[in-house]
């Protein structure tokens, strides 16, 4: 049996892709997920891709009794990747307490159990939202953090502060925080991908659902920003490329090749792309015309942000490889498979 990695939120979008990549790298994976934003069918599809069925426990990380029982049952965990969190920017503005409670308490419960059950290594699912609206672009890992634009973003910033403080007083714990930019796309098999419940909070699922006729129209939130075409600019990273960064981070922690005990890396492409550019690239890649309209700006949205990925490229030896067009086509193929189109 290989090294064992716990993946919280492992049936979710990024989590499921990371499970597949971990299995491909020889890791034995255990998933905790409460299925609040995913389905158990994802486990079946992971097995179809990899030929390996990951162990799966269904419960919420806020339940400390169940979490401790889990660590009693699985006593050989070498590392944890912590994805499980609420993640919709707009919803977090409307329900801040729910986001603070879920995202922060779940992390603290994990850290308590790491100490009690002697688990040393944690990869934390962070976000470029920790930078707020930066003064200079691209953002490096040393870009000064500004106030987050949403409670969701603030939970990621506070989580990083919690991790930094815990590492300082807990010599056995090592942490890598990966600050993702905007993950999009789906696995090339079209067996796993982004499948939000209800109205999507992210751009690409809204695009693919509009293309599939599930949504009547795509809303572009604002065309009067200080950008070349007036729409928001983001750094869109292929989800499989992103998943591979987690495997490298786990390798780094388990093999103790990290120089610092709390490290953080930008995971993006290094290229800023506007919302309207994404729309037009999708149309070109798929041949499908989108019905979209410009609407008012959305509260909590950063105007523009994209990464400087030099440190991840050099220190981790990781680089984004998949083009935007290829990534958007994978998202469309996934949508079609889900809808039987």
Same domain for 253 and 275, yes or no, is: no
Structural domain for 73, as ranges:
4-185+236-267
- Going by pLDDT thresholds of 50, 70 and 90, the confidence category of residue 88 is confident
Same domain for 140 and 219, yes or no, is no
In terms of Cβ atoms closer than 10 Å to its own Cβ (0-12, 13-18, 19+), residue 161 is: exposed
* pTM of the predicted protein model: 0.96
DSSP, residue by residue, 275-322:
HHHHHHHHHHHH-----EEEEPPPTT--SB--B--HHIIIII-----S
Residue 339 lies in a domain: no
Give the pLDDT confidence of 232-279 residue by residue, as tens digits: 999 999 999 999 999 999 999 999 888 799 999 999 999 999 999 999
Both 295 and 281 in one domain: the answer is: yes
Helix (H, G, I), strand (E, B) or coil at 132: coil
Examine the pLDDT at 288 and tell me if it is beyond 90. yes
Q: What is the mean pLDDT of the chain?
A: 95
Does the structure show a pLDDT above 70 at 1?
no
pLDDT digits (tens, 9 = 90+) for 30-82: 999 999 999 999 999 999 999 999 999 999 999 999 999 999 999 999 999 99
Quick one: DSSP state of residue 194?
Answer: -
Say whether both 168 and 254 belong to one domain.
yes
Q: How many domains does the chain have?
A: 2
Q: Any idea what the CATH number is for the domain that residue 261 is in?
A: 3.40.50.720
Give the three-class secondary structure for 133.
coil
Would you name the residues annotated as active-site residues? Answer: 152
The answer to whether residues 295 and 169 belong to one domain is: no
């Amino acid at each position: 049996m290989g090294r064992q990695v716990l993946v919280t939120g492992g049936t979710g979008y990024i989590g499921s892709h990371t499970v597949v990549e971990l299995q491909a790298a020889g890791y034995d994976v255990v998933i905790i997920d409460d299925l609040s934003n995913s389905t158990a069918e994802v486990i079946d599809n992971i097995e179809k891709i990899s030929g390996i069925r990951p162990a799966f426990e269904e419960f919420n990380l806020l339940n400390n009794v169940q979490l401790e029982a889990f660590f009693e049952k699985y006593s050989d965990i070498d590392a944890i990747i912590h994805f499980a969190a609420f993640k919709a920017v707009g919803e977090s503005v409307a329900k801040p307490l729910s986001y603070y409670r879920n995202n922060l308490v779940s992390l603290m419960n994990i850290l308590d159990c790491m100490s009690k059950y002697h688990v040393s290594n944690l990869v934390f699912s962070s976000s470029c939202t920790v930078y707020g609206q930066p003064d200079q672009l691209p953002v490096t890992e040393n870009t000064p953090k500004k106030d987050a634009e949403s409670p969701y973003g603030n939970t990621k910033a506070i989580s990083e502060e919690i991790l930094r403080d815990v590492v300082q007083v807990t010599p056995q714990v090592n942490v890598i925080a990966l600050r993702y930019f905007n993950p999009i796309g789906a696995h090339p098999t079209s067996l796993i991908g982004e499948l939000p419940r209800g109205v999507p909070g992210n751009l690409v699922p809204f695009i693919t659902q509009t293309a599939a006729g599930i949504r009547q129209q795509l809303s572009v939130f604002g065309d009067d920003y200080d950008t070349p075409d007036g729409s928001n600019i983001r750094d869109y990273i292929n989800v499989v490329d992103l998943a591979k960064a987690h495997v490298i981070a786990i390798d780094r922690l388990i093999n103790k090749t990290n120089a610092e005990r709390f490290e953080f890396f930008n995971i993006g492409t290094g290229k800023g792309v506007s919302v309207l550019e994404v729309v037009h690239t999708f149309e070109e890649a798929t041949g499908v015309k989108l019905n979209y309209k410009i609407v008012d700006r959305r509260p909590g949205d950063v105007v523009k942000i994209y990464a400087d990925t030099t440190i991840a490229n050099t220190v981790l030896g990781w680089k984004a490889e998949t083009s935007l067009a290829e990534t958007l086509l994978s998202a469309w193929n996934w949508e079609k498979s889900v809808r039987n189109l």
